[in-house]
């Protein structure tokens, strides 16, 4: 699993390796830019020898359709047309649970108050529709010193800290 570049310390502020003002990225590898295929196009192209390395998952898509193809993917963009629709959180975490180490980007109606949850389920880049205040972003990531449950970020839950 290739996500050792993710910060596994609660409360630490990850370095923003930001290449565009409106985008937040918490990865040490070079940003990857290429056409992002909708899931249906990706799967169709895959059958006909196509070669997309970036794919978009919409809320109703079954992210598990990607699991046979993770080795060729560098970026999965998960769309949030409405911030209230939380399906993308499960999609991201399922990818990380399957060992995907590439970039998982939350795109769309992404609000600062969701970033902490999103980082925990495995997102490591963000393309919000509206720009986020970097001061508030930093405060958000530094907010919680501990977490109660495991997720996809490698943080030890308090039960592990309590019992060594």
Contact residues toward other proteins (CB under 8 A) are 59, 83-87, 89-90, 93-94, 97, 111, 113-114, 116-118, 120-121, 133, 136, 139-140, 143-151, 157-163
Between 13 and 147, CB nearer to other proteins: 147
Between 52 and 141, CB nearer to other proteins: 141
Between 31 and 157, CB nearer to other proteins: 157
59 burial via Cβ count (<10 Å: 0-12, 13-18, 19+)? middle
Helix (H) or strand (E) holding 15: none
Between 10 and 75, CB nearer to other proteins: 10
Between 31 and 116, CB nearer to other proteins: 116
CB of 103 to other proteins, least distance (A): 18
Cα–Cα distance between 102 and 108 in angstroms, integer?
Answer: 19
61-66 long-range contacts (CB < 8 A, ≥24 apart) are: 61/91, 63/90, 63/91, 63/94, 63/95, 64/94, 65/39, 66/39, 66/42, 66/95
CB of 45 to other proteins, least distance (A): 25
CB of 128 to other proteins, least distance (A): 12
CB of 147 to other proteins, least distance (A): 7
CB of 18 to other proteins, least distance (A): 21
The DSSP result for 26-60, as a single string, is: --SSPP---PPEEHHHHHHHHHTT---SEEEE-TT
């Amino acid at each position: 699993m290739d996500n050792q570049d993710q910060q596994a310390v609660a409360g630490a502020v990850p370095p923003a390796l930001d290449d565009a003002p409106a985008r937040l990225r918490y990865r040490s590898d070079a940003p990857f830019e290429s056409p992002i295929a909708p899931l249906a196009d990706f799967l169709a192209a895959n059958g006909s020898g196509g070669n997309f390395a970036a794919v978009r998952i919409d809320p109703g898509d079954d992210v598990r359709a990607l699991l046979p193809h993770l080795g060729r993917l560098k970026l999965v963009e998960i769309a949030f047309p409405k911030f209230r629709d939380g399906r993308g959180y499960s999609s991201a975490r399922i990818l990380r649970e399957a060992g995907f180490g590439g970039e998982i980007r939350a795109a769309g109606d992404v609000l600062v108050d969701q970033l902490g949850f999103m980082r925990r389920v495995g997102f490591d880049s963000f393309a919000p529709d509206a720009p986020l205040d970097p001061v508030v972003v930093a405060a958000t990531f530094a907010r919680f010193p501990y977490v109660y449950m495991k997720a996809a970020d490698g943080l030890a839950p308090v039960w592990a800290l309590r019992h060594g």
